[in-house]
């Protein structure tokens, strides 16, 4: 067993019990049914080496982690223009809050808020013929796995309960910051939230962010080095809900989390790491997953600081 694999085993043993202090997301019924005791962790290095432990090969709903891929696609499609319609400041409010959007006249604080992701969806719908299929193809290509797909049960659940997202979309439209129909934007958004991946796939798919924008598996340039820096900066400052400051303090890595209990983080020039444990802390980040990442950076001494 490699030293890294041994470290991951030790982290799983230490982190798994932490999950008991968290709560699985219940506002999307399909997520409430996921067994709370699952715990997976995977590291993929730039040379492709994989180190994994626990339930690292079981797929789960990536939820807001999809926002990382959609903002990447939007940057590829229209570049800096997206920042005329969405900001890049931490919000200090919940990811699905309506209040700030009203006060700030329909310009979401950042692309990782639900409102920001709805604007990004609108950008992609305008820039691409088959926008969602292209997003899915992009994720499959980055992960090296053609079977990654939408989880239909989660999708139905999102559609049936996404009233707050519908409210956000209506708000955005009323301020003129959506150009497509609300139903089309929501359909794109719900579908991206419902994509299922496992920890190994997730870590591998984020490797271009650890490699100055080049996918190390295919050699393809996904983002320019400058765009890559910017996406990492967004992850660090806005990627873990309104706990991004605490997360940077504890873990010290650019990361993106989702309410399915996944978190993906990158260590530039070295590796990407993904964890999954469904119970969340009050801000919406995986409780044991955040704990595990703190252990990882503390044990290895690898962080961006």
Active site residues: 64, 67, 189, 241, 259
Minimum distance of ligand GLU from residue 117's CB (angstroms):
8
292, β-bridge pairs:
none
Interface size with ligand GLU, residues (CB under 6 A):
11
Q: Which of residues 201-240 bind ligand GLU (CB under 6 A)?
A: none
The token pair that represents 117 in the structure block? 């992701």
Q: Contact with ligand GLU (CB under 6 A): which of 39, 60, 69, 95?
A: 95
**Alpha carbons 303 and 305: distance in angstroms, whole number:** 5
Minimum Å gap between C-beta 123 and ligand GLU is: 18
The residues pairing with 50 across neighbouring beta strands, listed in sequence order, are 44
96 binds ligand GLU (CB under 6 A): yes
Where helices occur in 109-224 by DSSP H, the ranges are 114-127, 131-143, 152-161, 163-174, 182-193, 199-205
Whichever of 232 and 257 has its CB closer to ligand GLU, that residue is 257
* Pick 3 or 99: Cβ nearer ligand GLU: 99
Ranges within 185-204 binding ligand GLU (CB under 6 A): 193
Q: With respect to ligand GLU, which residue has the nearer C-beta, 52 or 117?
A: 117
Q: Closest separation between CB of residue 49 and ligand GLU, Å? A: 29
Q: How far is the CB of 169 from ligand GLU (least distance, A)?
A: 11
Q: Can residue 63 be called a binding residue for ligand GLU (CB under 6 A)?
A: yes
Residue from 18, 64, 232, 277 that binds ligand GLU (CB under 6 A)?
Answer: 64
For residues 273 and 38, what is the distance between their CA atoms, to the nearest angstrom?
17
Question: What SS3 class is residue 283?
Answer: coil
Residues ≥6 apart with Cβ < 8 Å to 81: none
Order of strands, sheet of 50-54, starting from the edge strand that comes earlier in the sequence: 50-54, 40-45, 271-276, 262-267, 255-257
Contact pick of 45, 55, 122, 158 for ligand GLU (by CB under 6 A): 158
Here the tokens at position 4 are 């890294």
* Helices and strands per DSSP (H, E), number in the chain: 13, 8
Closest CB to ligand GLU among 61 and 211? 61
CB of 160 to ligand GLU, least distance (A): 12
Query: Per the structure block, which two tokens stand in for 194?
Result: 């419902």
Pairing of strands 271-276, 262-267: antiparallel
For ligand GLU, give the closer residue by CB, 158 or 250.
158
106 is a contact residue toward ligand GLU (CB under 6 A): no
CB of 76 to ligand GLU, least distance (A): 22
Instruction: Say how many C-beta atoms besides its own lie within 10 A of residue 304's C-beta.
Output: 16
User: CA-to-CA distance for 142 and 15, rounded, in angstroms?
Assistant: 28
Segment (H or E) for 273: strand 271-276
- Name the site residues for ligand GLU (rule: CB under 6 A): 63-64, 95-96, 114, 158, 165, 193, 258-259, 284
């Amino acid at each position: 067993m490699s030293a890294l694999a041994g470290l991951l085993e030790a982290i799983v043993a230490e982190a798994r019990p932490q999950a008991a202090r968290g709560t699985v997301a219940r506002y999307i019924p399909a997520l409430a049914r996921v067994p709370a005791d699952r715990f997976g962790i995977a590291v993929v290095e730039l040379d492709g080496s994989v180190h994994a432990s626990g339930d690292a090969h079981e797929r789960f709903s990536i939820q807001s982690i999809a926002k990382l891929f959609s903002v990447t696609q939007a940057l590829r499609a229209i570049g800096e223009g997206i920042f005329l319609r969405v900001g890049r400041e931490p919000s200090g409010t919940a990811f699905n809050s309506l209040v700030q959007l009203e006060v700030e006249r329909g310009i979401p604080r950042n692309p990782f808020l639900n409102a920001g992701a709805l604007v990004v969806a609108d950008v992609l719908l305008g820039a691409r013929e088959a926008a969602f299929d292209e997003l899915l193809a992009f994720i499959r290509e980055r992960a090296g796995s053609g079977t990654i797909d939408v989880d239909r049960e989660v999708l139905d659940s999102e559609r049936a309960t996404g009233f707050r997202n519908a409210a956000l979309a209506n708000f955005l439209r009323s301020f003129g910051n959506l150009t497509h129909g609300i139903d089309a934007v929501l359909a794109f958004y719900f579908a991206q939230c419902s994509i299922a991946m496992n920890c190994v796939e997730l870590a591998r798919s984020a490797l271009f962010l650890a490699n100055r924008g080049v996918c190390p598996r295919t050699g393809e340039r996904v983002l320019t080095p400058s765009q890559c820096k910017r996406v990492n900066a967004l992850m660090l400052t806005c990627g873990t809900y309104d706990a991004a400051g605490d997360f940077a303090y504890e873990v010290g890595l650019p990361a993106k989390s989702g309410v399915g209990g996944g978190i993906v983080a990158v260590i530039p020039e070295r590796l990407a790491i993904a964890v999954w444990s469904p119970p969340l802390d009050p801000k919406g980040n995986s409780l044991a997953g955040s704990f595990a990442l703190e252990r990882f950076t503390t044990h290895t001494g690898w962080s961006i600081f």
